Amino acid sequence: EPEVTQTPSHQVTQMGQEVILRCVPISNHLYFYWYRQILGQKVEFLVSFYNNEISEKSEIFDDQFSVERPDGSNFTLKIRSTKLEDSAMYFCASSEADGGILFEQYFGPGTRLTVT
Amino acid sequence: ELKVEQNPLFLSMQEGKNYTIYCNYSTTSDRLYWYRQDPGKSLESLFVLLSNGAVKQEGRLMASLDTKARLSTLHITAAVHDLSATYFCAPGGGAGGTSYGKLTFGQGTILTVHP
């Protein structure tokens, strides 16, 4: 069964460093998303991406964040200068669309980012 | 801004009992999703509810959607230990497609099923 994959599973970085989280969405999906979940809290939307551009972003997704689809398969989230409060589990998700109706979003296993 | 409230937030059940988790949301949404999350794991899609009055069942779980009341329920029948997990509801989309694809998650309901 097709699935969303993410690498790395765990990333430890120092405050102020740049990190890139990688995702490979399901191959026939057209819509891509990033969410994050701070430990013990709810899942929060960061950004949605379609047709090589951002469709929507949340207040969390400030200038320190960027997304890219560098090739036909990868979808990346970059945090330019990490802060302690960026420590969280980051989930990538993808969904297909049919006639303008979005189907469910399939989530990857997540990348746990720890900023020290 | 869409607000989503689930209750209860913590649910301790005995095996074999029935219970309902409620999900209220504040603004019109044309679809709603239920997800399950096991500790330290990702989100597993349980149900996609696409219209008012939609009801879906899978095993011991049944989900329904009332878009007029802005309410979805997840009913658990004859709970078993394997159902222990955190359950999230997430309305998606908005009236006229103003928020295309974005899911707004509730706080989650931590369900523990005891023997």
Q: In this structure, are strands A65-68 and A53-57 parallel, antiparallel, or unpaired?
A: unpaired
Instruction: Report pLDDT for B44.
Output: 93
Q: Are A76 and A68 in contact (CB under 8 A)?
A: yes
Instruction: Report pLDDT for B31.
Output: 84
Q: Pick from A19, A23, A27, A31: which is nearest to A2 by CA?
A: A27
Tens of pLDDT, residue by residue, chain B (115 residues): 889 999 999 999 999 999 999 999 998 877 899 999 999 899 999 998 988 888 999 999 999 999 999 999 999 999 999 999 999 999 886 544 445 578 899 999 999 999 8
- The answer to whether A43 contacts B33, with C-beta atoms less than 8 Å apart, is no
**Cα dihedral angle (A33, A34, A35, A36), rounded to 10 degrees?**
170
Instruction: Report pLDDT for B100.
Output: 59
Q: What are phi and psi of B82, to 5 degrees?
A: -65, -15
SS (H, E, C) A42-105: CEEEEEEEECCEEEEECCCCCCCEEEECCCCCCEEEEECCCCHHHCEEEEEEEECEECCEECCC
Q: Is A107 on the interface with B (CB under 8 A)?
A: yes
Within a 10 A sphere around the Cβ of A41, how many other Cβ atoms?
13
Instruction: Report pLDDT for B97.
Output: 47
A105-115 pLDDT tens trace:
899 999 999 99
Site from B6, B9, B46, B100 to mutate, A interface, most A CB atoms within 10 angstroms:
B100
Residues of chain A with pLDDT under 70: 98-102
- The answer to whether B101 contacts A103, with C-beta atoms less than 8 Å apart, is no
Residues of B in contact with A43 (CB under 8 A): 43, 88, 90, 103, 105
Strand partners, A54: A49
Instruction: Report pLDDT for A18.
Output: 98
Instruction: Report pLDDT for A51.
Output: 87
Q: Are A86 and A77 in contact (CB under 8 A)?
A: no
Within a 10 A sphere around the Cβ of B81, how many other Cβ atoms?
11
